[in-house]
Structure 1
């Protein structure tokens, strides 16, 4: 019985210390909340032939084919959602997953309030039978940065840069 009392007292003490540490961390530390965003008007098309990612000289059975996942993400809030990732289940003609063991298809960065267009380049294994279908397309971001920040557009590839330029 005394051991249970000791363990209970120790748990209470640790919980109290954790609460004090949280309160003393100051107002500069804001909690980071995840935000689920809706995605619509999704399409999956081959990359334009002029796109660097298309790499026509590398098209062979052992390589990969370039595709672009485009859509519109909707942020219903009044503040931007940052470090946003897009998730989708993409299936080939036989119903097998195109991207093995993952549903995250890429990052679209910050999403301002309202509707925003996005485009993500995907490498699909060559020889994967089309047409492709997709489901469970969604986006998830945060109320504050969770990744190291870079300069504006520094982390965008040419395809994503073109989409960002169209939006502005």
Structure 2
């Protein structure tokens, strides 16, 4: 069996990025007193653009999230989550983030970018399993 071709990293543009509290009926938006982690749920939403004619595989989203004073909210971490596969064109995304309770707002998102590959680099999910049910609910708030 021939070895697999190497996967090349590809950068994708990210736009319309916004960070907002999770909807009140979202399972991640439980009242703080019921959450042992002392965190608040936020939804990071935006659009990712794939200019290629083929999907970008296993894409991750990177960003710096800062509090009111400009301090990073996610210490030593710029990868904020996985976007999975990104089809050609523009695609909406939504990721759930846990932000430490008491973080002074408003929160600001900067340096958002996505990076994926031209071939799989992770174990593949089954058909229809690309998004977790909670992530799918964030994309379809209706």
What is the TM-score normalised by the length of structure 2? 0.90
More strand by share: 2
Any idea what the Cα deviations from partners look like across 1:89-132, whole Å, max 9, x if unmatched? 01000110000110000001000000000000000000000001
Aligned CA distance change for structure 1 residues 29 and 104 (closer, same or farther; 3 Å): same
Alignment-derived partner of residue 93 in structure 1: 68
Alpha carbons 1:60, 1:126 under 8 Å: kept: no
For residue 92 of structure 2, the aligned residue among 117, 137, 142 is: 117
Alignment-derived partner of residue 131 in structure 2: 156
What is the TM-score normalised by the length of structure 1? 0.76
Q: Which has the higher contact order (CA 8 A, sep 6+)?
A: 2
For residue 30 of structure 2, the aligned residue among 55, 61, 64 is: 55
More helix by share: 1
Alignment-derived partner of residue 34 in structure 1: 9
Aligned CA distance change for structure 1 residues 160 and 77 (closer, same or farther; 3 Å): same
Aligned CA distance change for structure 1 residues 33 and 124 (closer, same or farther; 3 Å): same
Aligned CA distance change for structure 1 residues 165 and 128 (closer, same or farther; 3 Å): closer
**Matched position secondary structure for 1:162:** helix
CA root-mean-square deviation: 2.2
Equivalenced residues, count? 141
Question: Radius of gyration: which is bigger?
Answer: 1
Which shifted more, 49-58 or 84-93?
49-58
- List gaps (5 residues or longer) in structure 2: none
- List gaps (5 residues or longer) in structure 1: 1-24
**Matched position secondary structure for 1:124:** strand
Alignment-derived partner of residue 56 in structure 2: 81
